[in-house]
Structure 1
Amino acid sequence: MRTTTSSSARSLAAALVLLASALGACSSSPGGAYCDALVSAQAEWKDAGASLADPAAATRFLGTVTRIEQEAPDEVRADWRALHTLFATFTVANPDLGALTKQLQGFESSAKRIETHARETCGVDLGS
């Protein structure tokens, strides 16, 4: 069961990393500092999937998520905070992913709200 939980959590995290990478294409005009933060993080997210397997790299990635969370508008700040919680799980060796199973639906909901907001605010369609 732990393998399934671990696999599910890592799959969701990888999907969220891809979502975050797509956000990096956001133009800076409509979303101001928020979109600018996403654009500046784009290079850091290039290998983010691999970052989750390495606690030190995951910690650096978490710093990027933290910077975006600080710039995020109120509409999605709580969603970025939720993703921060998810990614923080991977900053330790042998993370206990069992607790994430109950929260996966919430993380998926946060990712969808971020996707919608990015499309409306930054003009980025993350569904493609």
Structure 2
Amino acid sequence: MRTTAMRRGPSVALALLLSATSLGACSSGSTGSYCDALTTAEADWKDAGATLKDPAAAARFVATITQVEASAPEEVKADWASLHALVAKFTVDQPDLTALTKQMQGFESSAKRIETHAKETCGIDLGS
């Protein structure tokens, strides 16, 4: 009986250790999935100005932003949501540029936080 208990003991300990390792990997993995999403979106980010001139391209850019936003860490999640709301307004044929100019000026600080975070967390330079 004691031998059976000892055999179970290491198995339980091993299962707990593997669970703890998996939980740690999830934490790193979430940053990893965010960085992967940023890497995929990097080309779209650099062509954003041209993308916003074409409603269909802007819609594709919104889809890309949605993927990044879904995996974004809490410290930049609201900034990605702000970008998402802004770019979504370019998916129509005649966006109201006067209203958008004001919103874009307010977005500058969010863009800076996104760029800084991407560089520091993932080594991706979205600003160039």
Q: What's the TM-score once normalised by structure 2's chain length?
A: 0.66
Structure 2 runs not aligned, ≥5 long: 1-27
Asked if residue 96 in structure 1 is aligned to residue 96 in structure 2, the reply is yes
Distance change >3 Å, CA 47–CA 34, structure 1 → 2: same
Report if aligned partners of 1:30, 1:122 keep a CA contact under 8 Å in 2: no
Cα root mean square deviation, aligned: 2.5
Aligned counterpart, 2:74: 74
Asked if residue 87 in structure 1 is aligned to residue 98 in structure 2, the reply is no
CA distance in 2, matches of 1:107, 1:45: 15
Report 1:7-22 matches (<5 A). none
Report if aligned partners of 1:89, 1:97 keep a CA contact under 8 Å in 2: no
Asked if residue 116 in structure 1 is aligned to residue 107 in structure 2, the reply is no
Equivalenced residues, count: 101
The residue identity in structure 1 corresponding to 2:88 is: A
Q: Greater relative contact order (Cα 8 A, min sep 6): structure 1 or 2?
A: 1
Q: What's the TM-score once normalised by structure 1's chain length?
A: 0.66
CA distance in 2, matches of 1:107, 1:72: 17
Structure 1 runs not aligned, ≥5 long: 1-27
